[in-house]
Amino acid sequence: MVAACLFITFAVLLLIGTPIAICLGISSMVAMIVQGAGRPIEVVLGTLPQLVSASTSKFVLLAIPFFILGGNIMEKAGISQKLITLAQACVGHLRGGVAMVCVIVACFFAAISGSGPATVAALGLILIPAMVKVGYSPAFSAALMGAAGAIGVIIPPSITFVVYGSISDTSIGTLFIAGVLPGLLMGLALVLVSLWVGRKSDLEILPKASGAQRWAAFKDAFWGLMMPVIILGGIYGGVFTPTEAAAVSAVYGLLVGAFIYKTIKWKELYQILVDSASTTATVMLITAAASIFAYILTRSRIDVAINEALISATGGNTIIFFLIVNIILLLAGCFLDSTSALYIFVPLFVPVAKVLGIDLVHLGVVMIVNLAIGLVTPPVGVNLYVACGIAKCNLKQISVAVLPLIVAALIVLLLVTYIPAISLVFV
C-alpha cells in the first residue's frame, strides 16, 4: 500500500509537469501519512526536519557549492573564450575543426565547472554560432554542444561524483580518478561522430594559426588550464580533500579573475555569489527531497524487496546485473535529474553490487555515464533545452540531430560497463 501510494503519487505529479524536487517531496509525505495512518499528523511528519538536516549537512556535500562558485567565477573571468581561442589555434584549421574545438573545450571546461548544463550555457553562446557559421546545421550544432556538455558530469571534478560518493560512502578522490578515461572516451566518440556528419556538409576551413599565435593563445589560457591541474593534483597528491579542493578552486578562480585576467570587478562578486547560491539551493532541495524518498523506500522495506528481485533476476551474473542497471538508468535519465536518480537508485544497486563482488567505484562510473547520457535524452534532457534556447531550434529538430551522438555515447557506455579496467586502470 505504501509503495503504491509512493510511486503512483510520484508518477502523477511528474506527468503533470511538477518540478522533480516537489514530486519527490510530496510523494514521500503522502507515503509517510499512509504509513502512519491513525497517528497525529505532526508525529508522522515530525521526522522530516531530522531527515532533511541529516541528508544535507554532510561535510562532503560542501564541495557542491564551492565547485559551483568556482565554475561561476571562472566563467565570469572569461576563461571559456580563452580556452576556445586556444583550441581553435590548435585544431581549428582541420576539416570539422570547430566541432572538435566544441568537444575539446567542453572537456576542459568540465574540469572547471563540474556541471553539464553550466558547460553548455557557458560555451554554447560562442560555439554554437561558430559551428553554424562554418556549415553545420543549427540543430546538430546545438545537439553536439549539449552532448559535449554532458561530459561535465564525468570528467573530474564532478558534482555528480560527489553526490554518488556521499550516498555510497565511496572515496570521492578515487571516483574522480576513475572518471578521467571514460570522460575522454566520450569526448573522442563525439569528435568521431561530428567528423562523420561533417563529411556530408560543405564545411568552411579556418585559417591555420602560426606557432606564435598558438603560443600567445596558450599563454592567455594558461591560468585557466591550471585550475583543474591544481584541483586534481592537490587531491591525488594528498594535499587536500575533494571538499577542500572545491574551496581552493573558488579562491583560485577569484584571484585569477580579479588580479590576473582582471575581468571580474568586485561589484560583480555579489551577483556571482547570488547565482551560485541559487544553483546550490536547487541542488540541495533536490538532495533533501530525494533523501526523504529514499528513506521511505528503506522504512517500508521496498528496497529489500527490490534487492531480492534484482539478485534473483541476475542469478549472480554481473553481465545481467549491469544490463538491468543500464536499462533502468537510461529510462530514468529521460525523466529524472542526476541527483534525484542517484538518491533513488544508489541505495538499491549498491547492496546487490556488493553481493555480486562488483567494485563500487566501477558501479559509480557506470551510473554516472548513464546519467550523462540522460542529459541529452528527451523529454527531460536538460542540456538539450539549454542548447535549444541558444540555437533557436525546437526540441523535435535537436532530438533527431542528437541521435547519432547518443548512439556513440551508448557504445562508450557498453565499453565502460563491461571493461572495468577503463574505469579502474588508474585507481
Burial of 40 (0-12, 13-18, 19+ CB in 10 A): exposed
Query: Per-residue DSSP letters for 156-212?
Result: SS-HHHHHHHHHHT--HHHHHHHHHHHHHHHHHHHHHHHHHHHTTS-PPPPPPPPHH
The distance of Cα 360 from the centroid of its chain, to the nearest Å, equals 18
CB 273 within 8 Å of CB 322 = no
Predicted pLDDT at 188 = 92
Q: Rounded distance, CA 231 to CA 159, Å? A: 13
pLDDT of the residue at 211: 85
User: Which residue is listed with cell 581552493?
Assistant: 248
> For residue 146, which of 396, 416, 366, 377 has the smallest C-alpha distance?
377
CB 375 within 8 A of CB 368: no
Q: For each of the chain's 427 residues, which pLDDT tens digit applies?
A: 777 888 788 888 878 877 878 888 888 888 888 777 667 776 667 777 887 787 778 778 888 888 888 878 877 877 777 888 888 888 877 777 888 888 888 887 776 665 667 777 777 778 888 888 888 888 888 888 888 888 878 888 788 898 899 889 898 889 988 998 999 999 999 989 888 887 777 777 778 888 888 999 888 888 888 887 888 788 878 788 888 888 888 888 888 888 888 888 888 888 888 988 888 888 888 888 888 888 887 777 777 788 888 888 888 789 999 999 999 998 888 877 788 888 888 988 999 999 899 999 999 999 999 998 988 887 667 777 778 777 777 778 888 888 999 999 999 999 999 999 999 988 7
Distance, CA of 330 to CA of 417 (rounded, Å): 13
Residues 6+ apart with CB under 8 A from 49: none
Q: Which three cell numbers stand for residue 329?
A: 538508468
CA nearest to 85, candidates 67, 69, 101, 74: 101
Q: For residue 99, give the H/E element and its range.
A: helix 97-113
Q: How many Cβ atoms sit within 10 Å of the Cβ of residue 89?
A: 23
**In the chain, what's the furthest Cα-to-Cα distance?**
78
Q: Are 326 and 410 in contact (CB under 8 A)?
A: no
Residues 237 and 50: beta-carbon distance below 8 Å: no
In the chain, the amino acid numbered 50 is Q
Report which of 269, 246, 249 is spatially closest to residue 258, judged by C-alpha positions.
269
Q: Look-up: residue for cell 509525505? A: 29
Q: What are the respective helix, strand and coil percentages of the chain, to the nearest 5?
A: 80, 0, 20
How many angstroms separate the CA atoms of 76 and 312, rounded?
52
pLDDT at 406: 92
